[in-house]
A and B are shown apart, each in its own frame.
Chain A
C-alpha cells in the first residue's frame, strides 16, 4: 500500500519508512530457542510459570489482533474452553498425541469463531465485548449443567504423547515446554506476517474510520471477521495447551472472570509487538504466583492493584517501556 506514494515522499528520512524488509522469523525463533533453553536452567516452579505464561500468551496474541482494529472481546474464555474441551474429548476417546490435540483445539475454536463471526462482525465497542461475553456464559451455563462432563468439577486428561513417545514424569514438564514453545513460535510468526500484510494493516484504518475504509473498496466486515477467526483459533490453541499443562478441564475455563484476566494481560502487554503478549503473560503469572504464595488471602488485591497501576501509569502496555520499541 505504501509503494505508490513513495516517490512523492522521497524527501522523507529513511528512518520514517516502514521497516518492511526485516523478517519477523529470526527474532521470534531466537525468542523460542531462549525459552526452551531456559527450561533447562530454571527450577520446577518457574518452569510451571513459563508453561502457564505461554498458553495465556497465545490467547492474548489473538486479542491484540482484534485490538489493532479497536475491538476488545470480553469472551475469549469461550474459545479457550472450547480448545480445552476438544482436548478433553480426544483424551476420552484415547487420542493423546500432542499435534492432534493442538490442531483439534485450533480447529474446534476456529470453526466456532467462523460461525459466530457472522454475527459478531456487526458489533463494535461495548456491544462487541458484551455479546462475546454472553456467548462464553452460554457455554459456561451448558458445561455446568452437563453431568456427563463432570459438571462444575470437570474431568481429568491423560498425559500427552509425542508421535508415540511418552515422556516419563521427570521430563514431562520439559516436553510440554518444548511443545508450547514450538506452537507459540508458529503462532507468533503467523500473526507477525499477518499484521504486516494488507489485511493486517487494514486494522488501524478500520479502527479510525470504517466508512472511509469502505469507500476505498475494502470490506470492513471481512477484515473484522478474519481477525475474529484468528483470535478464536489462537484462543483455542491456548486452551488446548492449557488442558495438557493443567491435565484437567472444568467449566470455570469459560467463566467471564477468565476472559477478564485475558483482557487484563492484554492491557498489561500492549499491542505494540507480537512479543508483548509473552512479556505481559510472564509478568502476570509472576505477579500471580508471588501474590498467592506470600499472601494467599489477598492475592486479588495485589493483582487488582497491578492492573490499576498498569491502566493509570502504563497506558501503552509494558512493551511501550521497552527501549526503541517499534511495531513489527
Chain B
C-alpha cells in the first residue's frame, strides 16, 4: 500500500506526458503513413523555446500566470513553423516512396535538428522552474504532490477529448477519418488529400512541441532530451496500433504505469520493461492493440 499511491500517481503523470507526445505521432502516421523520427526533435525545440521565453518572462517581472500562455504559444508557434516547413519542404516530395525511405528522411531531419538545437541554445541547461510551483501542492496519503503534475493529466484529457471531438464531431475530422481509412477512395471522392497533409503534420508537430513546452518547467532542458522521447513514443504508438488515438491512450497508460512500478520497485529494469511490454503486445497482437486487419494482396 505504501508504494501503491506514488506508483499510481507517478504512473498517471507519466502516462499523461506519454500520451500528449505519442498522440501527435500516431495522428501523423494514421493520416500520412509517416513514422516521424523527427517528432523527438520537435519536442526538444518546443521545450527550448518555452524555457527561453519563460526565463525572459520572469526576468521582466511580468504576471506569473501569463507563463502558461507562453507555453501554449510556443507550442503552437514551433508546431506551425517547423511542421509546415518540414511538410512543404521535404515530406511533400516523398509521397509514394516506401515507408522506410520516409522514416530515414525523418531520421535525417532528426540528425540535422539535433545540431541546430545545439548551435542555437548551446550545451547549457535552461531551467524554467517558475511555473512548476505556481499551482501549489496537495497531499495524498501523507505524501506531497505538486499540482503542476496533475495539471499535465488534465491537459492530456483535454487533448484526448479534443482529438476525439475534432475527429468525430467536425467536418474536417470526418474528412480525416476517411483519409485514414482509405486514402485512394478519399481522393476519388474529391477530398483534397494534399491539403489534409500539411494540416495534420502541423497539428502533430504542435502536439510534440506542446509535450516539450509543458514539460520544460518539470525538467532541466538540456541537450539530448529529444532522443529518448522518440523511442518511448514509438513504443506507445506501436503498442496501441499505429494510427489509433484510443490505442495511443491505452498504450500510454500501460507504459506509464509499468514504468512507474518499475522505478519504485526494480529501478534497474526501467528501460527494459517498456520494451518487454511492447514485445509482448506485438507477439499477441502483431499489429498492435487497435489496428484494423489489412487486406492481403493476392
Whether A125 pairs with B105 at a CB distance below 8 angstroms is no
> Are A126 and B242 touching (Cβ within 8 A)?
yes
Q: Kindly identify, within residues 136 to 162 of chain A, every residue whose CB is under 8 Å from any CB belonging to chain B.
A: 137-138, 140-142, 144-145
Partner of A137, one of B104, B231, B297, B298: B231
Instruction: Identify which of B58-66, B163-171, B212-220, B263-271 touches chain A.
Output: B263-271
Q: Which of A54-62, A91-99, A298-306 contacts B (4 or more CB under 8 A)?
A: A298-306
| Measured CA separation A301–B97 after assembly (Å) | 23
Given the known interface contacts A144-B271, A300-B115, the answer about A122 and B276 at a Cβ–Cβ threshold of 8 Å is no
CB < 8 Å neighbour of A211 from B109, B230, B268, B297: B297
Known: A126-B242, A307-B104. A315 touches B279 (CB 8 A): no
Instruction: Say if the beta carbon of B81 comes within 8 Å of chain A.
Output: no
Contact of B145 with A by CB under 8 A = no
Q: Is A166 interfacial (CB-CB < 8 Å)?
A: no
- Using Cβ atoms and an 8 Å threshold, which residues of chain A touch B278? 130, 134
Q: Of A32-40, A179-187, A237-245, A260-268, which binds chain B? A: A260-268
**Assembly CA distance A119 to B286 (angstroms):** 10
State the CA gap A110–B35 with chains docked (Å).
29
With A138-B279, A260-B107 already in contact, the answer to whether A125 and B231 are too (CB < 8 A) is: no
| B248-262, CB < 8 A from A | none
In the complex, are the beta carbons of A311 and B108 less than 8 A apart? yes
Which of A212, A267, A303, A311 sits near B111, CB closer than 8 Å?
A303
Question: What does the 1/0 interface line of A269-311 toward B look like (CB < 8 Å)?
Answer: 0000000000000000000000000000111110111011001
CA distance A211 to B278 in the complex (A): 28
Residue of B nearest to A146 (CB): B268
* A117 vs chain B, min Cβ distance (A): 14
With a cutoff of 8 Å between Cβ atoms, the chain B residues found around residue A307 in the complex are 104-105, 107-108, 111
**B268-A145 in contact (CB<8A):** yes
Per the bound structure, the CA–CA distance linking A311 and B93 in Å amounts to: 11
CB distance from B287 to the nearest CB of A (A): 7
Say if the beta carbon of B289 comes within 8 Å of chain A.
no
Q: Which residues of B contact A297 (CB under 8 A)?
A: 115, 118-119
B234 part of interface (Cβ distance < 8 Å): yes
Q: Is A174 in contact with chain B by the CB < 8 A criterion?
A: no
Give the distance in Å from the alpha carbon of A122 to the alpha carbon of B279 in the complex. Answer: 13
Q: Which of B183-229 contact A (CB under 8 A)?
A: 227
Contact A141 B235 (CB under 8 A): no
- Chain A residues packing against B (C-beta within 8 Å): 72, 74, 119, 122-123, 125-127, 129-131, 133-135, 137-138, 140-142, 144-145, 209, 211-212, 256-257, 260, 263-264, 267, 297-301, 303-305, 307-308, 311-312, 315
List residues of B whose CB falls within 8 A of some A CB: 35, 37, 90, 93-94, 97, 99-101, 103-105, 107-112, 114-116, 118-119, 227, 230-231, 234-235, 238, 242, 268-272, 274-276, 278-279, 282-283, 286-287, 296-298
Q: Which 10 A-B pairs have the closest CB atoms?
A: A141-B271, A304-B111, A304-B112, A307-B108, A141-B272, A304-B108, A145-B268, A300-B115, A300-B111, A72-B100
